[in-house]
Amino acid sequence: MSGTTSQNVDKPWRDTILAGLANYIDSGSIVAGSAALALWADTYNMSALMTGLIAAFSANAISAGVGSLIGGILCDKFGRKKIYQYDMLFYAFGMLWMIFATGPWMVFAGFVMVGLAVGADIPASWSLIAEIAPKRERGKFSGVAQMLWYLGPVLVLSAAYFLEPLGLLGVKIIFAHLFIIAIGLTFMRSKMHESSYWEEAHAKEEQSAELKAQAHWTNLLQPKYLKSILFLAGMYGFWNLWAGVNGFFFPYIMKTVGGQTQAASLLFNVLNFGLGMVSIYFIFMKFSDRVSQRKMFLVSAMMHVVGMSLLALFPLTTFVALTHVLIMAVAQGFGAQSFFQLWSAELFPTLLRSTAQGLTFAIVRICLGVFSFFVPWLTATGFTTLAWILVGFLAISALIGFWAAPNNAGKSLEELEAERG
């Protein structure tokens, strides 16, 4: 009997980890691309146009946004499991293009396919995590996925540091490890069960024409849902404009603007994401279910503004870069992305949850893609200008988040749906 109980207790954690590994795949793709960007640019003599296109349509931006939009709709219609199990095969196929790339067009095509796959997985996995978590521990369970997101950069960039002497071959080895994980994850997820929340809601929908109408995606245009979408897109979107530039371009900026070596820039990023994991565990996972989430968010947001201002006010020396990394790393752990995952699951009913997450995520990533297209030109005209723009984005995110942050800690998803009517 005790063994059965233990298995029942362990199952939500196991499924959370398997679902959350989508975050590892996502971030691993982004930072592997960031580590390879300068090498690709030198090897293939890439123009600023091609560099911008790869960034704009990468797993960090437009293709991920499109994938999340499509995946979110399919996830609510056909179930979480069908999406999060099979999209990893498509991811692996896209990764093969990047491993065996012989020119910029293959890199571009691979990134688009990888982005579509990770984008589709995000609403499926995030919805599942929220639906299997105990009502008083949703923040803790969401934090597991965020830990895995930060683990991707730590492992990938650490590998990039040791494989740097191999040049482009070292990057291809990193992409190969992501390919292997995607294949393995496909088999491991096959043993997972469908979300009981979705199964129950879908069964009711099939028996009621009224519920079927309420589950149509156009209902997200209702004021109560549209307000939540605009809040999430604004809070997370402006923050993500900073994060996208930081995640994809920071090693590139450190090397070309700050004069750091490729190895040094990679180590700065490893430190950044490693401290972020510490912050997620000891701050977000420990306190997000117990204290005011609005106040937590505000503290993080103000730290972001201060940390980014350092790069705008002072020359990009090693000391300034290190201070910036220390502040931002701690702030990220209990900031916009962690709360976006949590709040985007709580603010919508079960049969619209993934669609809403996918739509919001698409808005955020596509806007990032458009902005990323212009980043190489902005850095060429002066990094200070770009830094002040990013400070402004973080300040706007802080204001939106503090103004409209919900207070859902300790409430079940059923209670939240009842409150919405």
Burial class (CB in 10 A: 0-12, 13-18, 19+), 326: middle
- Asked if pLDDT for residue 299 goes beyond 90, the answer is yes
Task: Show me where the domains of the chain are located.
Answer: 10-420
- Contacts (Cβ under 8 Å, ≥6 apart) of 1: none
pLDDT at 41: 79
CA distances from 26 to 75, 91, 240, 266 (A): 18, 10, 14, 18
Q: What is the mean pLDDT of the segment spanning 311-326?
A: 84
Positive or negative, the Cα torsion across 26, 29, 32, 38? negative
| Residues 51, 252 contacting (CB under 8 angstroms) | no
- Asked if pLDDT for residue 36 goes beyond 60, the answer is yes
Please report where in the chains the tokens 């300068």 appear, as a residue: 38
- At CA 382, angle to CA 377 and CA 384, rounded to 5? 125
Confidence band, pLDDT 50/70/90 cuts, at residue 10:
low
SS3 content of the chain, % helix, strand, coil (to 5): 85, 0, 15
**What pLDDT digit, counting tens, does each position of 202-211 carry?**
888 888 777 7
Phi, psi of 291 (to 5 degrees): -120, 180
Please choose, from the candidates 394, 275, 384, 374, the residue with its C-alpha nearest in 3D space to the C-alpha of residue 320: 384
DSSP string, 139-167: HHHHHHHHHHHHHHHHHHHHHHHHTGGGT
pLDDT at 3: 41
Positive or negative, the Cα torsion across 331, 384, 240, 182? negative
Return the axis-axis angle of helices 336-346 and 383-404, rounded to nearest 10°.
40
pLDDT at 251: 60
Token pair listed for 286: 């420990």
Confidence band, pLDDT 50/70/90 cuts, at residue 246:
confident
- Find the distance separating the first CA and the last CA of the chain, reported in whole Å: 40
Most confident range (mean pLDDT) of 118-122, 261-265, 294-298, 325-329 is: 294-298
- Contacts (Cβ under 8 Å, ≥6 apart) of 202: 79, 351
Rounded Cα distance, 137 and 398, in Å: 25
Does the global pTM surpass 0.85? yes
Please choose, from the candidates 87, 138, 13, 68, the residue with its C-alpha nearest in 3D space to the C-alpha of residue 362: 68
Token pair listed for 7: 């298995």
**What pLDDT digit, counting tens, does each position of 11-29 carry?**
788 899 998 888 898 888 8
Rounded Cα distance, 222 and 339, in Å: 23
| Residues 357, 124 contacting (CB under 8 angstroms) | no
Burial class (CB in 10 A: 0-12, 13-18, 19+), 232: buried
pLDDT at 165: 86
pLDDT at 70: 93
DSSP string, 226-243: HHHHHHHHHHHHHHHHHH
**What pLDDT digit, counting tens, does each position of 144-158 carry?**
999 999 998 889 888
Chain-centroid distance, C-alpha 152: 11
Chain-centroid distance, C-alpha 38: 23
Confidence band, pLDDT 50/70/90 cuts, at residue 6:
very low
- Asked if pLDDT for residue 5 goes beyond 60, the answer is no
pLDDT at 421: 66
pLDDT at 31: 78
pLDDT at 387: 85
- Contacts (Cβ under 8 Å, ≥6 apart) of 180: none
> Which H or E run contains 50?
helix 48-56
Amino acid residing at 274: G
Most confident range (mean pLDDT) of 163-172, 226-235, 248-257, 316-325 is: 226-235
Confidence band, pLDDT 50/70/90 cuts, at residue 2:
very low
Of the candidate ranges 22-26, 244-248, 279-283, the one whose mean pLDDT is the lowest: 244-248
CATH for 10-420 is: 1.20.1250.20
- Contacts (Cβ under 8 Å, ≥6 apart) of 116: 63, 64, 66, 67, 70, 90, 94
**Residues above pLDDT 90, as percent of the chain:** 43
CA distances from 71 to 252, 297, 301, 354 (A): 31, 28, 30, 8
Confidence band, pLDDT 50/70/90 cuts, at residue 1:
very low
**What pLDDT digit, counting tens, does each position of 163-178 carry?**
888 888 888 899 999 9
When comparing pLDDT for 5 and 111, which is higher?
Answer: 111
pLDDT at 270: 82
pLDDT at 255: 64
pLDDT at 343: 96
Confidence band, pLDDT 50/70/90 cuts, at residue 409:
confident
pLDDT at 325: 85
